[in-house]
Structure 1
Amino acid sequence: MKIDLHTHAKLSKASDFSQTYYEEMVREAMDNGLHALALTEHFNTRNFDEVYQQLDRMFPYNGEYYDAGGLKIFPGMEVDIRETGHILLIGRKEFILETRHQLNDYTEKGAFIPFDDLMDLAEALPLLKIGAHPFRESTPLHHLDHSQLQRLDAFDLNAKDMYQYGCEANQDQVQRFAAKLGKPFYHLGKVLKWQGRLDEAYAYFYKSVWSGAWQGAGYLALAQIACEKQEYEEAFELIERSLAAQYRNYKARHLKSIILRRLGRLTEAELWLQETIKLDPMDAGARNELVNVYREQKQEDTSQRTLESLFQLMRDDPHHYIALAQDYADAGQYGDALDILKFIERRTSPAVYPMVHYYQGSYHMKMNQEEEASASYRMASAADPFYCFPNSLYDYVTLKQALKVYPDDAKALYYLGNLLYDKKRYEEAVSSWEASVALDDSFPTPQRNLALAYYNKRQDHAQALASLQTAFSLNPADARVFYELDQLYKKLGHAPADRLKAMEEHMELVELRDDLYLEYITLHNTLNRYEEALALILKRHFHPWEGGEGKVPTQYVLARVELAKGLLMEHRYEEAVTHLLAAKQYPLNINEGKLTGAQENNIDYYLGCAYEGIGRPEEAKIYFQRASEGLDEPTSAMYYNDQPPHMIFYQGAALRQLGRELEARSRFNKLIDYGEKHIFEPQSIDYFAVSLPDFLVFDEDLNRRNEIHCHYMMGLGYLGLNKRQDAEKHLGQALKLEPHHQGAAQHLALCSASI
């Protein structure tokens, strides 16, 4: 990818954002062969937030970058520091905006944020931190302490400076400066080693050890390359230097034991390994090397006992064995790596984890054992894919190599797609899954994964639905996929009655999952089948789950209150009281207690109405008073414990019953004012958010949800003010946007009834 990491959207800090200018800039970037830009506008430019508001209108944003007709635009900003200098921060839009808002007190010259404080802010979030033009005379960075500069991820080789000072001179200056900090060379060496360019990697690893901070890792990498070339005497000298820097680096200690064994210095190896195990009794590499040393010393019984202790330590977890095999492979010891994998293959046969076979195939290919590699790859493709989630760079390289040998391996394509999607390489993931499906259309999981990608990343809702329906048809016993399919129906606005019918046709799946069963209950409430909903709740023993907080109680209370409202309409006040008092006490089978300070204004309001109907005015007044109290400032409904806006509506209704009309109207007007003010306000989820109220497999359009919420608030406010036509308009709009909105439906019904 060709990316410019330092660009600006405006001609100057004082100018306004120009859509025409930026579109021209995007075209010029693409014409010059760039694939991506980082938009690093000055943090103290005029109307900073407006830049991203304009981009939101211009280009789709997928949670990581804007897609400007194929050019990726990553959010960022350029921040002045008090010590003089500029720092580029690059990351997700919400993190950039959150950090910018924390810099509100540091925007003026003379009051810029200190470097260390900025790093503290940036390191609290997943942001890339780059030192901008470190040798520019007006805003240098090289004067900062090296311990501070170590906190940066990279330095900016800026085109403006290259033009001013000359390309070669500026590039040499910045690279030498970065080398003193050890910034580029070690990682460049790693990249070259991954590409098999060992001699070039060796040279850069040697440059990395110019910095004391990188000597432990750098010399270890050099020793690994020397081992791969079977230059064990040199490898020994290098690993000693690594250990001089980091004596308790257990990868380095492991490699030293391998080198000693290869050099035939078995007694030294044994003593070294025993010391390592004393330092860390859980070190599996040391135990395996001790097995090898004892075997070469012809101590078969001792070797076998040590091997049994290794098996006990590794607990037959294939990931442990793969990680240990990788340590051997990193040093070119592919035979030893295969021995490790053979252990887990034998111990877990016939249910061998697929990646074990893929790694075996990879190591056989490294040893030019093509026949053995072919056999391993065939076993990998035939292995059970259940719970196989490759996720590392090692896994990526191994799967890519497998596909070079066997490009028709549908399972390898599926695993690769999973890995790429996790790494946010969405289009490549889609291509891998589509290729997998083309080779094997009987495997449901890539179809299910494609549905998520089509909906969330391509916004292709029709294709998402088709893929998920196919996935479910291929395995109609999968309750998870059925739940996801129902949620997709909900997202796409399918009628509640149709969703309920589909569930009734698959009740055996509904019974398997609390979240699916809860959706079944919710549909009953949505369709005004409150008695059935209540019966369904009371007959099931629920288990608490993260993300499900408050959901079962919400439906329980709703059913009780709506039944009570029906009884009030029929003047059956005593029965209404029974339901309303029960709504305040959650049944034990729900397995969830009431939150401290839970808002029950609606329950208390209707209890006041019931006692008034019974002819007990003093008790009615007590409950109206309770209903009139509580938080009276509207908020967004982002999290499950946020106050629902109808609680403020019932405060107003109760105040009216108490004869406090001005206070009542104040509550209703607050709902209207909030809705009008915030209806078009861009929304984002806080990075540290917990307990979001909805199932998030399918991305939520937060702005649309906010629009629904604001219409709901305004509808409630107008209903309270007895402006029924306006109330119907806004509540109806909320239902149009969200046909399953229970609150909007219930209060729309009140427009034609007395409150």
Structure 2
Amino acid sequence: LAYRPRSSDGVDSQAATEPPLPEDVGSLDELYLTGLHLAQYRHATRTPERYWREALRRDPADSRCNTAMGEWHLRRGELADAVRHLRQAIATLTKRNPNPRDGEPLYLLGVALRHLDEHDAAYDAFYKATWNAAWQSPAHFALAMHDCRRRQWAKALGHLDRALRVNADHLQARDLKAIVLRRLGRDAEATSLLEATVALNPTAYLARQLLGRSPTFDAQVHLDLAWDLWHAGLADEAIALLKQVRADDASGAAPLVAYTLAAFHEWGGKNDEAAIARQAAKGAPWQYCFPARLQEIAVLRAAIAADAADPRAPFYLGCLLYDRGRYDEAIACWERSAAADADFAPVWRCLGMAAFNVRHDTQAALDAYERAVAAAPDGGRLLYERDQLWKRLGVAPE
């Protein structure tokens, strides 16, 4: 083997370059593709939505940028805005052709409508998305979940078979098919399918659970699987799964498990059980609890609506919304949390960071950090961050 460096005359043709500002981009195509690149690779000074919005300023009906903005809003939990953009994308795509070439906006619309509990409209959107090969497996799986909600087991089985025909390794579809087969009294087929799934993927947690093998997995996995079951209308199974979470689970998800249990109970009409679960959530360790699922916005809002004095639910919701770039709503949540528990240092830390980074209010940032340090005077991170804030502002150290 030998190595000979390639001469490039000092120019790297693959070197990353900063894209021009949106208003300086010449074409809609470049605006869309630049936004797509920025959505995939974080940039320090550029954000994707600015490029898509500039494209839509020039052409409000552009299907690709409406789809992109619909997905952007969906990921942020801004469901009404997501639906608006996705419906515009679909209107553009179907203006000449009732069966559009791209099924992505139809599938995403189905997801958004499902989160809005508009299940019939979601079903129609998912069905239309099956026209496109790229979306057949996820769309048929989504249809099967809706069929299960309606206890239409045979119909669900048909959709699951079609999902697996396109993607035989779709673990969620395989697990749901096993559940449906059992509901149809076909236990031997269900067991055979589950065994094959475990052979395919030894970490197929739900398949192992359904086989009665009690696999060990952390609370975050429990939550993911519980939501799959919940969306399929399998509420009892979802609740039972969350109740299996170990008391000593170290993933930091204990508050989310309890709040999610409370929401499942409330949405099922069991308010007493919901109140017990929410009480447990308030007392669960807050360290390392980082809500991230779109569904957890609804869970935490339900907790706030049920108990206005709960200081933790608005704190966690603020963290989730801040991560999604919904800064004003996040700050309002943290202010509510601080009002309910003024001695909770983490919420003052969050308010201090938001005051400095978002609102550029240095005095509010200083005040918040003083409150945080007063609440936790031995907090090394708080003391370090306050020192850094003092340094930036030219405040002499104590």
* Paired residues for 1:109-128 under 5 Å: 127=48
Select the residue among 278, 282, 285 that pairs with 2:199.
Answer: 278
Assess if the C-alpha contact under 8 Å between 1:451 and 1:465 holds in 2. yes
Q: What is the aligned counterpart of 2:115 among 194, 204, 212?
A: 194
Deviations 1:552-609 (A, max 9, x none): xxxxxxxxxxxxxxxxxxxxxxxxxxxxxxxxxxxxxxxxxxxxxxxxxxxxxxxxxx
1:486 is matched with 387
**After the TM superposition, which residues 10-29 of structure 1 pair with which residues of structure 2 at under 5 Å, given as runs?**
none
Q: CA deviation at 1:153?
A: 3.8
Q: Write the distance in 2 (CA, Å) between the matches of 1:345 and 1:175.
A: 55
Change in CA separation of 1:122 and 1:427 when aligned onto 2, cut-off 3 Å: closer
Cα deviation for residue 132 of structure 1 reads 6.3
Q: Secondary structure at the match of 1:343?
A: coil
Q: What is the deviation of 1:232?
A: 1.1
Task: Give the equivalent residue in structure 2 for 1:230.
Answer: 151
Name the CA shift for 1:372/1:455 in 2 (closer, same or farther; >3 Å): same
Q: CA deviation at 1:408?
A: 2.5
- 1:171 Cα deviation after fit: 4.4
Contact 2:62–2:92 (CA under 8 A) maintained in structure 1? no
Distance 1:173 1:432, change over 3 A: same
**Could you tell me the TM-score, scaled by structure 1's length?**
0.43
Report the Cα distance in structure 2 between the residues aligned to 1:368 and 1:122, rounded to whole angstroms.
40
1:377 and 2:278 equivalent? Answer: yes
1:382-405 deviation line (CA, Å, top 9, x unaligned): 212111111221222211222222
Question: Is the 8 Å Cα contact of residues 38 and 48 (structure 2) preserved in structure 1?
Answer: no
Distance 2:284 2:135 in 1: 41
> Quick one: which of 298, 310, 314 aligns to 1:397?
298
Q: Residue type matched to 1:276 in 2?
A: T
Instruction: Tell me by how many angstroms 1:435 deviates.
Output: 0.6
The offset of 1:362, in angstroms, is: 1.3
- CA distance in 2 between counterparts of 1:491 and 1:483 reads 13
Deviation of 1:472 (Å): 0.3
How far apart are 1:86 and its partner, in Å? 3.8
Q: In the alignment, which residue of structure 2 is the partner of 1:366?
A: 267
Q: 1:259 to 1:445 in 2, by over 3 A?
A: same
Contact 2:94 2:100 in 1 (8 A): no
* 2:330 alignment counterpart: 429
Quick one: structure 1 residues 89 and 339, their matched pair in 2 at CA, closer, same or farther if it must change by over 3 Å?
same
Q: CA contact under 8 A between 1:78 and 1:86: conserved in structure 2?
A: no
Mapping of 1:736-751 within 5 angstroms? Answer: none
Q: Where does 1:403-418 land on structure 2 (aligned, <5 Å)?
A: 403-418=304-319
- Aligned residue for 2:244, secondary structure, equals helix
Q: Is the 8 A contact 1:76 1:88 kept in 2?
A: no
Aligned positions of 1:570-585 closer than 5 A: none
CA contact (8 A) 1:345 1:356 kept: no
Instruction: Read off the aligned partner of 1:251 and give its amino acid letter.
Output: Q
C-alpha change, 1:289 and 1:122, in structure 2 (3 Å) is closer
Give the distance between the partners of 2:256 and 2:180, measured in 1 at CA. 28
* 1:658-695 Cα deviation digits (max 9, x unpaired): xxxxxxxxxxxxxxxxxxxxxxxxxxxxxxxxxxxxxx
Alignment of 1:203-352 (within 5 A): 203-291=124-212, 306-307=213-214, 310-311=215-216, 314=217, 317-346=218-247, 348=249
Measured in 2, the distance between the counterparts of 1:459 and 1:236 equals 55
SS class of match (1:332): coil
Q: Secondary structure at the match of 1:371?
A: helix
Matching residue's letter, 1:363: F
Give the alignment partner of residue 473 of structure 1, picking from 353, 374, 383.
Answer: 374
RCO greater where, 1 or 2, for CA within 8 Å and sep 6 or more?
A: 2
Residues in 2 aligned to 1:347 and 1:124: alpha-carbon distance in whole angstroms: 37
More strand by share: 1
Task: Tell whether the 8 Å contact from 1:396 to 1:416 is kept in structure 2 after alignment.
Answer: yes
Pair 246,426 (structure 1): closer, same or farther in 2 beyond 3 Å: same
Query: Does residue 1:88 correspond to 2:9, yes or no?
Result: no
Deviation for aligned residue 1:141: 9.8
Q: What displacement does 1:455 show?
A: 0.8
User: 1:76 touches 1:90 (CA, 8 Å); kept in 2?
Assistant: no
Alpha carbons of structure 1 residues 282 and 447: separation in structure 2 relative to 1, 3 Å = same
**Aligned pair partner of 1:357 in 248, 252, 258:** 258
What displacement does 1:332 show?
1.4
RMSD: 3.2
Shift of 1:176: 4.2
User: d(CA) in 2 for partners of 1:175 and 1:370?
Assistant: 50
Matches within 5 A, 1:72-87: 75=22, 78-80=25-27, 86-87=29-30
Deviation, structure 1 residue 183: 2.6
Higher alpha-carbon Rg: 1
Give the 3 Å change call, closer, same or farther, for CA 154–121 of structure 1 in structure 2: closer
**Aligned positions of 1:123-162 closer than 5 A:** 127=48, 153=68
Query: What are the Cα deviations for residues 319-359 of structure 1, in whole angstroms up to 9, with x where unaligned?
Result: 1211121121121111111111111145649x971111011
3-state secondary structure, aligned to 1:179:
coil
1:290 Cα offset (Å): 1.2
Give 1:438 shift.
0.9
Aligned with 1:374: secondary structure?
A: helix
User: 1:179 touches 1:185 (CA, 8 Å); kept in 2?
Assistant: no
**8 Å Cα contact 1:77-1:89 kept in structure 2:** no
Give the partner amino acid of 1:256. K
Tell me the CA shift for residue 174 of structure 1. Answer: 4.5
SS of 2:286's equivalent? coil
The 1:220/1:253 distance shift into structure 2, 3 A limit, reads same
Distance in 2 (alpha carbons) for counterparts of 1:221 and 1:491: 51
CA contact under 8 A between 1:225 and 1:331: conserved in structure 2? yes
% same residue: 32
> Structure 2 matches for 1:571-720, cutoff 5 A?
none
Deviations 1:67-123 (A, max 9, x none): xxxxxxxx566443xxxx7443488xxxx8xxxxxxxxxxxxxxxxxxxxxx77985
Alignment-mate amino acid for residue 195 of structure 1: L
Cα–Cα, structure 1 residues 195 and 482, in superposed 2: closer, same or farther, change >3 Å?
A: same
**2-structure distance, mates of 1:476, 1:120:** 44
Give the number of equivalent residue pairs. Answer: 351
Partners of 1:132 and 1:491 lie apart in 2 by 38
CA contact (8 A) 2:335 2:351 kept: yes
C-alpha distance in structure 1 between counterparts of 2:166 and 2:352, whole Å: 50
- Cα distance in structure 1, aligned partners of 2:101 and 2:315: 43
Distance 1:229 1:179, change over 3 A: same
Over 3 Å counting, the alpha-carbon distance change for 1:178 and 1:413 in structure 2 is farther
CA distance in 2, matches of 1:339, 1:367: 14
**AA of the residue aligned to 2:31:** L
The 1:484/1:257 distance shift into structure 2, 3 A limit, reads same
Distance, in Å, in 2 between the alignment partners of 1:335 and 1:234 is 21
Gaps spanning 5+ residues in structure 1: where? 1-47, 53-74, 97-118, 143-148, 156-166, 292-305, 503-755
Could you say which residue in structure 1 is the equivalent of 2:13?
none
For 1:58, the equivalent position in structure 2 comes to none
Give 1 or 2: higher helix fraction: 2
User: Which residues of 2 match residues 450-529 of structure 1 at below 5 A?
Assistant: 450-495=351-396, 499=397, 502=398
